[in-house]
Structures are given as structure tokens and as C-alpha cells.
Structure 1
Amino acid sequence: MIANVLATVLAASLLAPAPSAAVQEEVSWTGPLHTEGRDIVDADGDRFKLKSGNWHGASGTWNGSGDIEDPANHHEGENSHGIPLGLDRASMDDIIGSFQELGLNSVRLPFANDMIDDEAVLPDEAVAANPELRGKTRLEIYDAAVQALTDSGLAVILNNHTNTSRWCCGTDGNERWNSAQSDQEWEEDWLFMAGRYEDNTRVVGADLYNEVRRDVLDDPNWGLGDEHDWFAASQRAGDRILNEANPNLLIIIEGINWTGIPVDGFPHERPTLEPVRELSHELAEPGKLVYSAHFYGYTGPNHSGATGTGETTDPRYRDFSREELYEVLRRQAFFVTEEGQPYTAPLWISEFGAGRGEEDPKERAWFENFVDFLVDNDTDFAYWPLVGWHENGEGNGWGLMNWDADGNRQSLDDDDWRAAAWHRLTGG
């Protein structure tokens, strides 16, 4: 089995194109990346703070049959056809150029496992603004996005967001890395994806799985040694990626997003990275571990973010004062950057965000306070999401850049209340 996997990885890596030398000379950083204490550094030993955003879509709202999840939902949004969003409305170059305008140096690029074996050719409408992508599969378009991003000088973090191509994050078969597939299948998919881009040193990270959480009956755990042990599964997958597929990658491990039944009177919580205090990873290759966490104002340390069914009386992050919020953030995740501890590692807040049209003063205050905390702690980050859509100024207001059906862009600086905080965060 391992020999077959290695052969597949080798073949894939040979097929994936490498970045051009001309572009490499124009960029101020050199991959691969590694870690030193709480910092990520490049091959020259210079700090490389991840100033990132999520270019979502390839984790998919399209499942091959044309069934589309709710297009009003900010978290996955509009009809992506299971490819990075916006390619029907704007050219790849324009989209990536907007990322650079935002002051980013890296992009988290989600994918679904079923993208790997999906041989269906995408309809032309899915890439209407990019005719050179016609006739390609989802994986081939993902390849093109990786290549274009890295050719532009941006670093790419591969993110296994879902097992199946649908919106995250309900009770949908995507709760755990092994909800809709076996551990072995999940690991082999990662060997394939990691090996596919081995020769591109601007593909810098493997973000192993998104928002590991409870399904209907069973919780994930951190160190119990059973089939739901996220600590053990992430350790095993990270070691295999480094040993068998791509030693260049950072291994990015998110904490547990949810355990318990979100009903008052029953135990429930967002453990996030708190278990790391007692049990932290030691990967086969030192200097490759990064921890990750997500924070949104509508969730909380004991609040799933649900409204109606599943909503509890626990406070959301937006309900805390600035001082209370900061104490909770330190306890749940930011402690991992303390120097000299067994668990010391870089922390990447790989998702946070707020809506352009948000009018709730508590939500706005949370966003401002959270950004200030990121700035004060010099924390690596990735905003969710970068790309959205709008029609007559209305649409996916969570995106920092939004395109209408005619390809007209609504930018962050177009009367957006988030702009000042964003510029504080990116330093420009």
C-alpha cells in the first residue's frame, strides 16, 4: 500500500508545474518555511508572519449534481462549483491582484477530499471570466490557482476543509477528518496533495482539517487513543506528510472546535487549543508545527454560534467586554506562543471575520477589539473570506473584495467600516 501511495505522490509531483525562476527573483522571501519558537521564518531565517486570507470555494457548495447550498450563507456562500470563488466573474490575475492590494503575503486555499477523484469537467459558466480554464476538472483548476498564487509571490497553505463538497459546518458528514472516509483514506489524500506541490517551495503548509467537532453521537477528543482522537490522528498524518510526501511543509493543527450537546443543562464547549497545555505535538521533523484556531463574534467558549435550535444562554465572544475577551482568548489559544514552554509554537488564527453590512454595535466592537488583540500580540492571521459577490451593493458582505455579475469590484475601501481595522492589522 505504501509503495503504491509513494508512486502516486511521485507521479503527481512530476505533473504539477514549478514556479518560474524570474518570479522568484522578484520576491523578498524564500521558501520553505520553518518555525523558531513562536515565529514562522523563511529559508533565510527572516520572520515570515502569515498575513493571510481564505480564498474559499474548492471545499465546495457544488456536489457534481448541480445541488447548491444556501447562497446567502456567509461561510461558504455562492455557487462555487467546487472551485475557488469568483472565477466566473473576474480573471485569476485580477482576483490575486486584489489580495496583494489588501497587503497579504499568503492565502489559505480550502479543498474537499472528493475534489481529488472528481473527473467531471466543469461547465464553462463556472470559469466564464477565465476562458483558459475551460474543459478542466476541479483539481486542475485548483492546480492553476496554486500556480498563479505562488507565481505572484504569495505563499499558499493547503487546507483540508471538508470530506465532501458542501457547505461547512453542520451535521453533514464533515464533522471529523474520518466522518465520511477512513483514517487511511484521509492520510493517503494528504500524501497525494502534499506530494503534488513538493517542487513548489511557495506551497508552505498543510492545514490538516477544519473545525473538528462533534457529530450527532460522538465527540472528538485529544489523546484518548480511540478512532476519534484528533491529537493522535493529526500527529500521525503530520509525520507521514513530512516523511513520505513533502518535508518542506508546515504542519498546521487546529484545536477541537466543538464537543458536547449545545443545550443548556448539558456539557458543551469549544475546547479550541486548551488541551495543548497538557499534551502537545512533537513531529518527526522539528520546526514544522503550527497551531491554529478560529474565532467569530457570534460563537463563544461555550456557544456553538447556533440560533434557535441548539442555541444556549452562554455568552458569545461579542458579549464580553474588551478585558474579558482578552482573558478568554489567552486561555483558549494565545498561550501557545509563550516562549520556553513544552507547547511553544506559532499560532495562526486561520479564520475570523465580520460582515460589511453589520450594524450590531456589539459585533462591530468585537471585531475592533479582536483586531487590536491580533496587532498587540503580533499574531499570524487569515481573514474569512477574501472573495464575495454583490448585486447592486448587496450579497456576501463578509468578503473583503466582492464582484458583481459584470465583473465590477466592490473593494474594502469603498465605504466599508472594517477598512480602518484592516489597515491597522496589515500595517498599511
Structure 2
Amino acid sequence: MYFNCLLLGLATLPSLINAAFPNAPFVTSGQWIHDSAGSNFTYVGVNWPGAADVMIPEGLQYQSIANIVSKIKSLKMNVVRLTFAIEMVDDIKDNGGDVTVQKAFTKALGATNGEKVWQQVLKNNPTFSTSTTRVQVFDAVASELSKQGIYVHLDNHMSKGAWCCGGSDGNAWFGDQYFDATKWKRGVTWIAEHGKSWPNLVSIGLRNEFRKPDSTGSSLAYTWSVWYDQVIAAANSVNAANPNILIFLSGLDYDTKVTPLPYADDLGSGKKFRLTDYKYANKLVLELHNYQNSATDCGSMEGGLWDNGFRATGEKATNRMPVVLTEFGFSQSGTDYTKTYATCIKKLMPQWKTGWTVWVLSGSYYIRSGTQDFDESWGLLNKQWSDWRSSAAIGALKEMIDASLKG
């Protein structure tokens, strides 16, 4: 009963709740993100996946939402990158409404295992019921994050709910097997509209890791010109639906490059990205990913990251705007936190005074690439989501958090 009342309250009183949440909405100014009080805000957070086969945030069979959020809060993180799949919205729009969580587990894990895991989720989260839908779980996660003072950044991770990412997964590019560009625009617009009831929703990433399809299944060419046509149309739609939230633009090659955007380079067919073309220019942010785990030289990493997009934060950029490293990460099971890649990222983010969200919170997944109860060695949390996987790695992460927040 409390859960249903909570959802009703969030849905019917968005303006009142939004007014109460600390210093939202956000805007941009040059390389900076500012809160509503005019102070600089630096994204310092973690990825919480919710876009795989079950299409709800991971880990609820092991812990309550409140316990998981309290672990994030204990690190002084201020934002969660919460991923979702367009398929969830497609079901709502085209297939008679959202799927219950119980049915989602049965579909993803099979009748026996699905029911077993569902009962574990209920035990840890007793406010849920057999009528609770996937979207209502996202609502509950956003509500708990708000309660504990943490902002939400939504991310469209996939079209079809599944593990990400590869060139052959049908989600790579516009027109790919599962990547219907029209439904994608509808999906990100719908969830941006729905998120108006979340007081702590401050931004959305339009799409995670555009990449070249392995096959010729995509109906549209893999070019910056096509990127421009599709992404700007989606940004226009999202801004119209929810003008309060920031919109993160991701690039090509698994979002490792937004190279032509900082200096308004030609994207093909005479198209150029210019901030001055948009009435909502103060709502646009660039995002990048980086997984150079085999790096042996920080200087080369720094130069590559700068050239691939962070130069948008520089004084000479035509489109001077914030850049957030929304994905980076490494195994938490060994000593990777001491190696060049991890220590370089740890140095550069505070040095550049830029935001980041580490991959990944998940100690395990309900199912990943066909393997149920998959143990995630990159997870900050252990398989049972009960404690940190490596206290030493978390200690190093805390240093990066403190340096970023201080900067």
C-alpha cells in the first residue's frame, strides 16, 4: 500500500516535489554544469544497469533498493547513471501496457528460476506485489535515490533488452535489427516525460555506444551525417517533452569519439553541429567512454581523450560545453586499480574538473548473455551486493571521488 501511495504521490505532485529537491534543474555554461543555485556541479557517480533481459535495475534479488542506494551514498557519490531499454516502452505503447516484474523474470529466466528469483526480490522489497510493473521499479529506485539525496541520469542503453554491446547484437546503429529509429525517438521522449515525476532526474543520455554493425542489416549509413539527423531530432523531441533535463550526446565507435563536434567540423553533406543553432544550448552535454585497460602511458591516454572529445571543454572550442566520462572501469578482483589505466583516469578527471560515472555497481546480473546469476568481476559490489568486492580498489575510488568533488 505504501509503495502504491508513493508512486501516486510522485505522479500527481511533481511541481511540489521538484521544488523541494536540492538545486535542480541544471544548466550548462561553457565547460561547466551549474545547479539552480548557480554553483558548479560535477557528476561523480556509478552505473546501475537496468537494460538487460529482465529490464529492471539489477541486484534486487540480493538486497533492497534502500540498502543498495545506501552503499552508493556511503561513497559520497552524487549521481546514478540508470540504464533502460526501449523495449520496455515499446511494450507500453504497442503491446497492451507494461509487463509485471513477475512475468519479466519468468520470460528471462524460465518458469522455475524466474519464480524463484522473483520471490527473492519480494523478500528484499516487500512493497512490491504481483501487480508491480517494470516502470514502477524504476520509479521506486528513483524515489529512494531522491530520498538519499542522489540525482538520476537516465541512459538509453539498448533497444532490445539484453547485455550490451557488440556489432552483431542488432542494437548497433539506426535501422539495425532491433534499432527502430522511430521507436527509439518515441521511447526516449516517453521516459523523459515520465521522469518529470522524479524530482532528482537531471539528465538523460539519448543512446549508449553507437557502433558500426557487423552485418549489412542497418538501413542507414554509419556516418556523422546520419548521426546528426537522428540524434538532433531525438534531442528536439526530448527537450520539448521535458525542458528541465540536460541531454547528453554520445559519439561513434562505442562512444569513444565525438571528434567533429567541439570545433563544428563538417559532418558530411554540409551539416555542422553548432550550439548556437539550439534554443536549448544550455541543456546539451557531450559524453565519452573509455576502456584503455591495456594502456602503459598516461600521456598517450590524456592526448587521446582530449582529441576525441574533451577538447570541447577548452577555451578555443567553437562549441565549448561540458564533457562527462559516463563509462570507464576495470576488474575489481585484482590489482587493476594500481595500473596505468586506472591511475591515469583517477588523475585526469579531477585535473580537468569534469564529471564521471564508473562502470559498474553490479556485483551480478539476473542474466548476462544466457548465463543466469552472472558474477560481475568489474562490479564495485560483491556477487551478493552486500559489501564491496575489493576494499583496496574502493579506497582508491574514494580518493578520486574526494578529488573530483573538491575540484
- Normalised by the shorter chain, which TM-score bucket? 0.7 to 0.9
Matches within 5 A, 1:103-122: 103-116=76-89, 117=91, 119-122=98-101
Distance between the aligned counterparts of 1:99 and 1:19, measured in 2? 25
In structure 2, the residue matched to 1:220 is 222
In structure 1, the residue matched to 2:399 is 423
In structure 2, the residue matched to 1:4 is none
Deviation at 1:184, TM superposition (A): 2.1
Distance change in 2, residues 1:395/1:46 (3 Å): same
Aligned counterpart in structure 1 of residue 363 of structure 2, from 388, 396, 418: 388
Aligned counterpart in structure 2 of residue 294 of structure 1, from 289, 293, 297: 289
In structure 2, the gaps of 5 or more residues are 1-6, 93-97, 103-117, 266-271, 366-373
Query: Given the two structures, how large is their TM-score scaled by the length of structure 1?
Result: 0.75
- Alignment pair present for 1:162 and 2:158: yes
- Alignment pair present for 1:34 and 2:27: yes
Distance change in 2, residues 1:402/1:426 (3 Å): farther
In structure 2, the residue matched to 1:97 is 70
Matches within 5 A, 1:89-238: 89-116=62-89, 117=91, 119-123=98-102, 124-125=118-119, 127-128=121-122, 129-135=124-130, 136-170=132-166, 171-179=168-176, 180-216=178-214, 217=216, 220-223=222-225, 229-238=226-235
Deviation at 1:162, TM superposition (A): 0.2
Deviation at 1:152, TM superposition (A): 2.2
**Deviation by residue 1:246-276 (Cα, 9 ceiling, x = unmatched):** 1101010011125xxxxxxxxxxx7611121
Q: Which amino acid aligns with 1:351?
A: E
Deviation at 1:328, TM superposition (A): 1.2
**Deviation by residue 1:100-148 (Cα, 9 ceiling, x = unmatched):** 1111111111000111226332233362311212321212211211222
Distance between the aligned counterparts of 1:46 and 1:337, measured in 2? 17
Distance between the aligned counterparts of 2:364 and 2:180, measured in 1? 36
Aligned residues: 351
**Which structure features the higher share of helix residues?**
2
In structure 1, the gaps of 5 or more residues are 1-11, 63-80, 224-228, 259-269, 299-317
Deviation at 1:50, TM superposition (A): 0.8
The answer on whether the counterparts of 1:35 and 1:346 sit within 8 Å (CA) in structure 2 is yes
Q: Which amino acid aligns with 2:223?
A: N
Aligned counterpart in structure 2 of residue 84 of structure 1, from 57, 61, 64: 57
Q: Secondary structure at the match of 1:168?
A: coil
In structure 2, the residue matched to 1:346 is 322
How big is the alpha-carbon RMSD for the aligned residues of Structure 1 and Structure 2?
A: 2.8
Q: Which amino acid aligns with 2:289?
A: H
Q: Which amino acid aligns with 1:396?
A: E
Distance between the aligned counterparts of 1:271 and 1:89, measured in 2? 33
Distance change in 2, residues 1:21/1:426 (3 Å): farther
Deviation at 1:319, TM superposition (A): 3.2
**Deviation by residue 1:169-224 (Cα, 9 ceiling, x = unmatched):** 1211111254324322211112211111224342111200000001123652212x
Q: Which amino acid aligns with 2:332?
A: R
Q: Which amino acid aligns with 2:324?
A: W
Q: Secondary structure at the match of 2:382?
A: strand
Q: Secondary structure at the match of 1:86?
A: coil
In structure 1, the residue matched to 2:273 is 280
Q: Secondary structure at the match of 1:142?
A: helix
Distance between the aligned counterparts of 1:373 and 1:389, measured in 2? 29
Distance change in 2, residues 1:247/1:14 (3 Å): farther
**Deviation by residue 1:32-72 (Cα, 9 ceiling, x = unmatched):** 1110110111111111111121111x211x2xxxxxxxxxx
The answer on whether the counterparts of 2:10 and 2:198 sit within 8 Å (CA) in structure 1 is no
The answer on whether the counterparts of 1:19 and 1:147 sit within 8 Å (CA) in structure 2 is no
Distance between the aligned counterparts of 2:243 and 2:61, measured in 1? 35
Q: Which amino acid aligns with 1:87?
A: L
The answer on whether the counterparts of 1:177 and 1:209 sit within 8 Å (CA) in structure 2 is no
Distance change in 2, residues 1:143/1:201 (3 Å): closer
**Deviation by residue 1:211-247 (Cα, 9 ceiling, x = unmatched):** 0001123652212xxxxx112211111112112x111
Q: Secondary structure at the match of 1:344?
A: coil
In structure 2, the residue matched to 1:67 is none
The answer on whether the counterparts of 1:353 and 1:398 sit within 8 Å (CA) in structure 2 is yes
Deviation at 1:401, TM superposition (A): 2.2
Distance between the aligned counterparts of 2:175 and 2:145, measured in 1? 30
In structure 1, the residue matched to 2:343 is 368
Query: Given the two structures, how large is their TM-score scaled by the length of structure 2?
Result: 0.79
Distance between the aligned counterparts of 1:90 and 1:346, measured in 2? 35
Aligned counterpart in structure 2 of residue 47 of structure 1, from 27, 40, 48: 40
Q: Secondary structure at the match of 1:336?
A: helix
Q: Percent identity?
A: 25
